[in-house]
Structure 1
Amino acid sequence: MHSKVLDRLLFKEDPVEKLQKETGKNVNDVHIDFNSGQTPQIPSQRYFQNSNIFINKHHRYSYMPAHTHDFIELNYMYSGHCRQYINDEPVALHAGNVILMDKDIVQKIDYVGESDILINILIKDDSILANVLNTLAQSTSLVTQFLVNASKVHAIHNNYILFDAQKNEVAQHLIDSLIIRGLGNDGSNAREVNLLLSLLLNELSHSIEAETHNFESGTDDLLQILQYIDQHFQTVSLAGIGRHFGYNSNYIGNKIKAETGFSFQSLVNRKRVSLAKQLLAETDYPIARIASEVGFSNASSLSKLFSKQIGYTPGVFRQRRHVLDVPRISRTLES
């Protein structure tokens, strides 16, 4: 059961919907050429200026012509129904259905009417691995393997998974919370949106209705390597991973770079900074202790990396979070 507040928000007609309702024509608000004879790609830069996750409502009273994109897309049927075509295969979505689509899929959406509320959740390419490393790495579910495959530079990217979350109250609550936190996309709730999405993807793994994929489940070393990095990121090294998996360290490093587009050290640093941000926001730990918690020998090393990735120091980050009145948990420091 959705909240009345969310219902009012989503059923309210936006300017594009009003125009499409009045004219009976599709408003090309993405400003791409659908008439060239080739399937156009929607430019990702229009969506990810404030955050690595973009959430909006699909405009009603029209259709969406065939297109592709270079980001992951999650479509949620909040109300009503619609028919989508995924690589020319018809997929019917009913209220409570969620479809997770890989990059490079050819997608089009038939006409949606007044009661048909479809939510688009777009996930930027470089945040896919962050979701896997931060929350999903302990899972071997099809969803995790889907995301690992989606993160690969050289892979087939025309996969999708259909979920039926209609009877999954936890998933329904997470999706509603995700919409409330993320709709508008000003970036102020970026961390909460990322966390909610990770929890949602994990929960949806219990509600798979149908899927099509072009990767072998459970046979890829990359997922195991990512899990190992997640578990040992404070002290992990290429040599250590090589010994654990029985490979030369150069081979492991080249494999990570070739398949993900990120170097081994970049993945480790992203994990460390992500945890540092969480500890800065949620605890009163001194920065020196946070540096130690995430694998640095001193605070200056963390500050240098943090400034490079985030744009300012850990101290400034904590002050900004405090100004935004984000609650922090005071914890007794261990002696």
Structure 2
Amino acid sequence: MTKQDELKNLETLLFEHTENENYYLTHSGSYSKRYEATYTERQFIDGKEVLMIDVGDLVHNPLHIRKDSRYTFMPFHTYRNINLNYIYSGKATYFIDNQEITLTAGDICFFDTQVVRAKMKPVHDDIIINIVMQHDYFKSLLTLDDKNLLTHFMSQTLYSNQSHNNYIIFRTGDSPQIRSLFEDLLLEQYKDRTYKMEASKHYFSLIFLELIYLSKQEDKSLIHFSDSSSNTIFNVVNYIEQHYQTTNLSELSQVFGYHEKYLSSLLKKSYGKSFKQIQIEKRLADVERYLNTSTLPISDIAERTGFTNLNQLYREFKNKHGLLPKAYRNQITGPGAGE
């Protein structure tokens, strides 16, 4: 069977009615069966009855992947584990903190464990893929690139905060890579073969790596944090990393509309680093890359990475590595390269 035939079969499987969906179609106005289940714990949070959904399958598997049922309203609920929704087709509308949040085809949303939301009734074209993850598995994804801005912010937003009511939206509708990887992940779910879960973990890791790649783009509309402070800081730090060679606090102030002193204070308080620290770290990372992969003279590397003063480069590099750039390069490539 060709890949195209497999994808056609996948479409058929995703859009055909499940037993639950047939029930909801013939019992208009009925709530999700999760709501009616007596085994689902309920708590009252801010005056609302909230379903506390616990996915038992996670005891044995790091991922639980399913298609959400259409034609039924899902009352206020939350999951005890990190939960991801991917909109394969159509849209999904949620009510969170008295706000209506709509995701459209291609969007991905990570929900923390205390995000209380209700979901409006999906119709025929609304195919919503629901993925729940073990905590340890999700933490392992964050180590795929622990120096990346996105993984830093996801770790801060989802694990370091005392409250766990944050969510992160990725607007990936224009990414054919994300679409293709989710198709591969879903194809795996409908196969009955050995190592199915290992393959699923592989595809999901690739999806996460692609999100890391997308986070390096300058388009601010791609990623949205529910916490407004995180949203601002993420965009500011992302701008610094994109323009690290030449940007300064004055430029940042003009781009984001904040006073220089306020921006400087916000970065230090929320990100734990000053503007200059972020800029120097990014410059040094690129200096290391050039030393590892090129024979460019160190003076050229300094110019390309924004160091207008060679002495500053030598000082900052030695502070980090304990040796000068030439000695660092000699350790890797041997004497003579790029002298």
TM tier, smaller: 0.5 to 0.7
Which whole-Å CA distance do the structure 1 matches of 2:82 and 2:188 have between them?
A: 19
Equivalent in the alignment of 2:146: 137
Letter in 1 for 2:18: D
Deviation at 1:181, TM superposition (A): 2.2
The answer on whether the counterparts of 1:181 and 1:192 sit within 8 Å (CA) in structure 2 is yes
Where do 5+ consecutive residues of structure 1 fail to align? 222-243, 246-335
Q: Aligned partners of 2:156, 2:209: CA distance in 1, in Å?
A: 14
Report the more deviating stretch, 81-90 or 55-64. 81-90
Q: Distance in 2 between matches of 1:161 and 1:60?
A: 23
Identity of aligned residues (%): 21
Q: For residues 3 and 220 of structure 1, do their structure 2 counterparts lie closer, same or farther at Cα, with a shift above 3 Å needed?
A: farther
Aligned partner (choices 193, 202, 208) of residue 201 of structure 1: 208
Cα offsets for 1:133-177 (capped at 9, x unmatched): 2x2324222x4421454244x633222222222211111111111
SS in 2 for 1:128: helix
Cα separation, partners in 2 of 1:184 and 1:159, compared to 1, 3 Å = farther
Length-normalised TM-score, structure 2:
0.57
Asked if the contact 1:70–1:104 (Cα under 8 Å) also holds between the matched residues in 2, the reply is yes
> Quick one: which amino acid aligns to residue 104 of structure 1?
Q
Q: Is the CA contact (8 Å cut-off) linking 2:43 and 2:51 kept in structure 1?
A: no
Correspondence for 1:90 among 86, 100, 122: 100
Structure 1 position 85, deviation (Å): 1.8
8 Å contact kept, 1:54–1:182: no
Which deviates more, 39-48 or 106-115? 39-48
Match status 1:19 vs 2:23? yes
- In structure 2, how many angstroms separate the alpha carbons of the residues matched to 1:58 and 1:140? 31
Kept after mapping to 2: 8 A contact 1:132/1:148: no
Confirm or deny: 8 A CA contact 1:77 1:95 kept in the other structure.
Answer: yes
> Once the 2 structures are TM-superposed, how far is the Cα of residue 95 of structure 1 from its aligned partner?
1.3
Instruction: For 1:187 and 1:89, locate their aligned partners in 2 and report how far apart those are by CA, in whole Å.
Output: 44
Alignment of structure 1 residues 43-192 onto 2, 5 Å: 43-133=53-143, 135-141=144-150, 143-147=151-155, 149-152=157-160, 155-182=162-189, 188-192=195-199
Assess if the C-alpha contact under 8 Å between 1:175 and 1:200 holds in 2. Answer: yes
SS of match in other structure, 1:190: helix
In structure 2, do the counterparts of structure 1 residues 70 and 136 end up closer, same or farther at CA, with 3 Å as the change threshold? Answer: farther
Kindly indicate whether residue 221 of structure 2 is the aligned counterpart of residue 210 of structure 1: no
Report if the CA contact (8 A) 1:161-1:212 is conserved.
yes
What root-mean-square deviation, in Å, do the aligned CA atoms of Structure 1 and Structure 2 show? 3.2
Report the CA distance shift for 1:162/1:53 in structure 2 as closer, same or farther (over 3 A).
Answer: same
State how far apart, in whole Å, the 1-side matches of 2:100 and 2:192 are: 30
Q: Could you tell me whether the CA contact under 8 Å between 1:170 and 1:203 is conserved in 2?
A: yes
Asked whether the 8 Å contact 1:63–1:110 carries over to 2, the reply is yes
Provide closer, same or farther for how the CA distance between residues 176 and 196 of structure 1 changes in structure 2, counting only shifts above 3 A. Answer: same
Q: Contact (CA 8 Å) 2:94, 2:100: kept in 1 or not? A: yes
Higher relative contact order structure (alpha carbons within 8 Å, sequence separation ≥ 6) = 1
> How many residue pairs were aligned?
221
CA contact (8 A) 2:31 2:75 kept: no
User: How far is 1:81 from its partner?
Assistant: 1.6
Secondary structure, counterpart of 1:155 in structure 2: coil
- Deviation string, structure 1 residues 210-253 (Cα, Å, up to 9, x no partner): 322365657369xxxxxxxxxxxxxxxxxxxxxx99xxxxxxxx
Q: Are the counterparts in 2 of residues 128 and 147 from structure 1 also a CA contact under 8 Å?
A: no
Match of 2:251 in 1: none
Q: Which amino acid aligns with 2:145?
A: L
Q: What is the SS of the residue equivalent to 2:11?
A: helix
User: 3-state SS of the aligned residue for 2:60?
Assistant: coil
Distance 1:138 1:11, change over 3 A: same
Contact 1:102–1:158 (Cα < 8 Å) also in 2: yes
CA distance in 1, matches of 2:123, 2:204: 27
* TM-aligned CA distance change 1:187 to 1:27, over 3 Å: farther
Offset at 1:46?
A: 2.2
Question: Which shows bigger deviation, 182-191 or 107-116?
Answer: 182-191
Secondary structure, in 3 states, of the residue corresponding to 1:16?
Answer: helix
Q: CA deviation at 1:12?
A: 1.6
Rounded Cα–Cα distance in structure 2 between residues aligned with 1:106 and 1:86: 6
Deviation for aligned residue 1:194: 2.1
Does structure 2 conserve the Cα–Cα contact (< 8 Å) formed by 1:75 and 1:99?
A: yes
Asked whether 1:29 is paired with 2:34, we answer: yes
Cα distance, 1:10 vs structure 2: 0.6
Once residues 178 and 20 of structure 2 are traced to their aligned partners in structure 1, the CA distance between those partners, rounded to angstroms, is 29
Larger Rg: 2
Q: Which residue of 2 aligns with 1:224?
A: none
Q: Out of 12, 36, 56, which is 1:8 matched to?
A: 12
The 1:139–1:196 alpha-carbon spacing in structure 2 relative to 1, beyond 3 Å, is farther
Deviation of 1:186 (Å): 9.6
Partner SS, residue 137 of structure 1: coil
Structure 2 gap ranges (5+): 216-221, 238-270, 274-318, 321-339
SS at match of 1:61: coil
CA distance in 2, matches of 1:187, 1:131: 23
- SS of alignment partner, residue 174 of structure 2: coil
Tell me, yes or no, if the aligned pair for 2:42 and 2:50 is still in contact at 8 Å: yes
